[in-house]
Amino acid sequence: MQPRKILVVDDSKLIHKMFEVLLRQYSLVHAHDGLEALQVLGNHADIDLILLDINMPTMSGLEFLYQIKADDVFKEIPVVIISTEGREEDTIRGLEAGAAASIKKPFGNQELLEVIQRL
Ligand SMILES: [Mg+2]
């Protein structure tokens, strides 16, 4: 069986490295802002889940989320918001816009894996 494919969207290089270690059993695809993530989605029709940072340059996670939820091809892909302490408002907006779950930095490995496996 092919490993499930996860798109990681975050402007922090550290987060990408961390996910590479934590999510070794998955196939990861990387983007560093919303615009790049849209391009990556266009090139990978088989993304199973998206881990999404909100605060990013060029195109924010919220803007990216609004765009994919308005797109019939991508709107069913579950999105998990990676939220930052003190930015609860963004998380609430994201969940209202159709994100499936949120996880707050710093999160435990077990917590992250549970959320991903559930979705
Ligand atoms: Mg960020």
Angstrom distance (rounded) from CA 11 to CA 78: 20
- Distance (angstroms) between ligand 1 centre and the Cα of 87 equals 11
pTM: 0.95
CATH number of the domain enclosing 17: 3.40.50.2300
Domain count, the chain: 1
- Phi then psi for residue 43, to 5 deg, are -95, -10
The owner of tokens 């199973």 is 48
Q: How far is the CA of 40 from the centre of ligand 1 (A)?
A: 18
Report the separation in Å between the CA atom of 64 and the middle of ligand 1, taken as the mean of its atom positions.
Answer: 13
**Closest residue by Cα to residue 105 from 81, 71, 77, 79:** 81
Tokens of 37: 């993530």
- Residue-wise pLDDT for 83-95, tens only, equals 887 788 999 999 9
pLDDT 10s per residue in the chain (119 long)?
A: 788 999 999 999 999 999 999 999 999 999 999 999 999 999 998 999 999 999 999 999 999 999 999 999 999 999 999 988 778 899 999 999 999 999 998 888 899 999 999 99
Backbone angles phi, psi at 115, to 5 degrees: -60, -45
Tokens 């579950």 -> residue: 78
Domain interval for residue 47: 5-118
